[in-house]
Amino acid sequence: MEQDATLEHLLGLRHLTPGQIRNILDHAKRFKAINERKIKKVPTLRGTTVVNFFVEPSTRTRTSFEIAAKRLSADTLSFSASSSSFVKGETLLDTARNIEAMQPEILVLRHKASGAPHMLSRAIDAAIVNAGDGYHEHPTQALLDMFTMEEHKGPISNRDVPLKVAIVGDIAHSRVARSNIHGLTKLGADLHLAGPATMLPTAVESLGVTVHYSVEDALKDADVVMMLRIQKERMGTDLFPNDREYARMFGLDKKRLQLAKPDALVMHPGPINRGIEIQPDIADGPQSVILEQVTNGVAVRMAVLYLVSHRGRPAAPVEVQ
Ligand code: CP
């Protein structure tokens, strides 16, 4: 696959080429090697300012963007809606223009409105990185998911038999699912979605995936099982009878996991609703790579910050000593 080393912003995976995705994953591999050294810091982004603006709660994404920026020696500033003039009614655009007046090079944004990072990318000069917008996209999560899959299963592209990935749960409200669908299909994975009919977007098959209404059908011989959180905060109404019923119909337990390949990976973007979409013994079991996903998030975000810092110009691979 021909690599493309340019990345002006990272707004989503929908509009990236397979070569751009491959390039991010290959850069992340080098940054992971740096993260495994005793001294995990490189001078690569010295003099660059990265602002993390999170208008929605986050544990993993926010901390790993901050760690990633610090390991690249960037100057970082993280702030949230509750600690900013957002609470006094300032708009996102005015907030961003005021941050821009202080001349950061990169703005990482999480926002509850789908499309908010796209709007900012047209309005301000800084490179914009989408850290999750509504239920639209969460590109760095999908990239770290793909990176983790490749560490265990080898390259996703150009396989004799495509990698079978089952994504189970609340697909309709999941920006993680949407970014994974775009990214994994571009790299040639065989994607199977399952969830309650009320949580499957209409016409999602047009994105090149297979839809199942039975979780068992989706899990059969899967190489990777990705469970999703039920996003009650994004549902206007109850989309399933109750948590117990959901766990019975769609939750991942030992018996269901046996339908996948014996060495199937169990993934979850977090936060986990233990006992609902996944049983604790599976989340903490030998097939789970959930915490590896979190570890890999730092390397992937280092790669993204490094690439967007070049503002669309080709970026040379980072030297790892
Ligand atoms: N996976 C993920 O986005 O987690 P956070 O909401 O904690 O950042």
Q: Which domains does the chain have, with CATH numbers?
A: 18-138+294-308 (3.40.50.1370), 139-289 (3.40.50.1370)
Find out whether the peptide bond into 271 is cis, omega within 30 degrees of 0.
yes
Q: Are 24 and 30 in contact (CB under 8 A)?
A: no
Query: Rounded mean pLDDT of 19-32?
Result: 97
Note the pTM of the prediction, 2 decimals: 0.95
| pLDDT of res. 81 | 82
Which stretch of DSSP H or E encloses residue 298? helix 290-308
pLDDT-derived band of residue 241, with 50, 70 and 90 as boundaries? low
Does residue 232 have a pLDDT over 80?
no
- Mean pLDDT taken over the chain: 94
Q: Are 54 and 84 in contact (CB under 8 A)?
A: no
What lies within 8 Å, CB to CB, of 137 at 6+ separation is 11, 12, 13, 14, 130, 175, 178, 179, 182
273 CA to centre of ligand 1 in angstroms: 13
Mutate to test the pocket of ligand 1, among 52, 59, 109, 137 (most ligand atoms within 8 A of CB): 59
> What does DSSP say about strands 224-227 and 265-267: parallel, antiparallel, or unpaired?
parallel
| pLDDT of res. 83 | 80
Q: Are 81 and 92 in contact (CB under 8 A)?
A: no
- Between CA 218 and CA 277 the distance in angstroms is 15
| pLDDT of res. 312 | 86
pLDDT-derived band of residue 88, with 50, 70 and 90 as boundaries? confident
Q: CA-based diameter of the chain, in Å?
A: 57
Residue showing tokens 């950061």: 104
* Phi (first) and psi of residue 254, to 5 degrees: -60, -45
Higher pLDDT: 85 or 149? It is 149
- Between CA 38 and CA 18 the distance in angstroms is 33
| pLDDT of res. 273 | 93
- Between CA 61 and CA 54 the distance in angstroms is 10
**Lowest mean pLDDT: which of 7-16, 128-137, 307-316?**
307-316
Higher pLDDT: 225 or 237? It is 225
Tell me how long the chain is: 321
Ligand 1 surroundings by CB, under 6 angstroms: 58-62, 132, 138, 141, 269-271
Bridge partners of 128? Answer: 107
Q: Which atom of ligand 1 is nearest to the CA of 110?
A: 8
Q: How many Å from the N-terminal Cα to the C-terminal Cα in the chain? A: 26
Higher pLDDT: 46 or 234? It is 46
- Chain segment 165-199, per-residue pLDDT in tens: 999 999 999 999 999 999 999 999 999 999 999 89
Cβ atoms < 10 Å from Cβ of 221: 12
Query: Rounded mean pLDDT of 253-267?
Result: 98
| pLDDT of res. 80 | 85
| pLDDT of res. 63 | 97
Coil/strand/helix, residue 94: helix
Does residue 263 have a pLDDT over 80?
yes
Mutate to test the pocket of ligand 1, among 110, 141, 272 (most ligand atoms within 8 A of CB): 141
Q: What percent of the chain has pLDDT over 70?
A: 97
Does residue 104 have a pLDDT over 90?
yes
